[in-house]
């Protein structure tokens, strides 16, 4: 059974930026997106600091966020990367399956990756994720390199929004038509 410890907080800054972004988008009437909490069972608690130091995940999570943008169902996961190579071990088989099923139901699935060393975000479409995933399953690389990414899906903070992913979501939608 998977467990969680202090390493589990690595993406918390990214998630906080995304949470603030979706709140701003919601206030503007652009979307309604929720963070999906991952249920955990605490095992060890630091009583002095009131922090959970060890816990087990009660069930497999699907994605970090789910909701709708102007009537379009979306789901996505948030990942942080400190190198120019992103390991596919950061994405789980059940997440890929959920995203695939979500797409089959007419939704849009993607992964937001924050490249910390470059201070850039990348919107990884489900289609591109699937290409990398299938390459791995057929014996190829178990990761993808920054230089393999389609540059039109790279973006930075701006326009008063921490993680302005709606602009690249629109690019994804335009390419699907």
Which residues neighbour 32 within 8 Å (Cβ) at sequence distance 6 or greater? 26, 67, 68
**76 touches 110 (CB < 8 A):** yes
62 is in an annotated binding site: yes
77 is in an annotated binding site: yes
64 is in an annotated binding site: yes
> Helix, strand or coil for residue 78?
strand
How many beta carbons lie within 10 A of that of residue 104, not counting itself? 9
70 is in an annotated binding site: no
> Helix, strand or coil for residue 129?
helix
Binding site, by residue number, is 62, 64, 77, 95
Binding site for Mg(2+), by residue number, is 62, 64, 77, 95
């Amino acid at each position: 059974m998977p467990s969680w410890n202090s390493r589990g907080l690595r993406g918390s800054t990214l998630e906080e930026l995304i949470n603030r972004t979706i709140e701003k988008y919601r206030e503007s009437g652009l979307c309604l997106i929720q963070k999906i909490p991952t249920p955990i069972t605490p095992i060890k608690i630091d009583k002095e600091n009131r922090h959970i130091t060890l816990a087990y995940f009660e069930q497999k999570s699907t994605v970090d966020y789910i909701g709708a943008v102007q009537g379009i169902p979306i789901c996505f996961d948030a990942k942080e990367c400190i190198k120019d190579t992103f390991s596919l071990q950061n994405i789980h088989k059940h997440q890929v399956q959920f995203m695939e099923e979500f797409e089959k139901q007419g939704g849009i699935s993607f992964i937001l990756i924050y490249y910390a060393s470059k201070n850039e975000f990348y919107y990884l479409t489900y289609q591109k994720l699937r290409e990398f995933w299938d390459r791995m399953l057929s014996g190829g690389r178990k990761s993808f390199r920054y230089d393999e990414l389609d540059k039109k899906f790279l973006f930075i903070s701006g326009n008063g929004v921490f993680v302005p992913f709606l602009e690249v979501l629109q690019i994804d939608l335009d390419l699907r038509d």
